[in-house]
Amino acid sequence: MAVIKPVFTATASAPVASGGAVTTTLNPDTTRYFATLTAGMLGATNTTIPAGSFVDDSDTAITALPALTANDYFNVYINGVLQQQSLSTLATDSLVLGATTPDLSAGTPIQLEIVSFANVSSTLSTPPNISAPVITITS
């Protein structure tokens, strides 16, 4: 006996999503550190500022700078002027500036600002309405 297979032709509409809302909460954490260059920090090719030379916003000496994560960035200000990020390297033990005398001299103020966006959360505050597809069999 022969096998008989039914053959159907059908079309379907795409589901449609409407409405819905996501609430994102962003609480950046900013810390600032301050140092004054000394002659001993000025090297032949770089200026290295040890972590112990910095104080925080409350004028408390620090022993280590924060380790940056993928959610962080830092800004360096020399004498109050924002510098290009490529001119400095930040590690937990020091800040290295790609500049020396005559551009820098002892007594120059350095500000380091670190911003972290690690404290971010998103929640689905209103679920979307998603329609079911309409399937139409034509034969």
Q: Which sequence spans correspond to the domains of the chain?
A: 29-118
pLDDT averaged over 10-residue windows placed end to end, the chain, 139 residues: 81 88 90 96 94 96 94 95 94 93 89 92 88 86
Pairing relation of β-strands 135-137 and 10-12?
Answer: antiparallel
pLDDT at position 110:
97
- Name the pTM for this structure: 0.71
Q: How many CB atoms lie within 10 A of CB 94?
A: 20
pLDDT at position 49:
97
pLDDT at position 40:
94
Residue 139's alpha-carbon distances to 2, 6, 60, 90, 134, in angstroms, are: 22, 10, 81, 70, 16
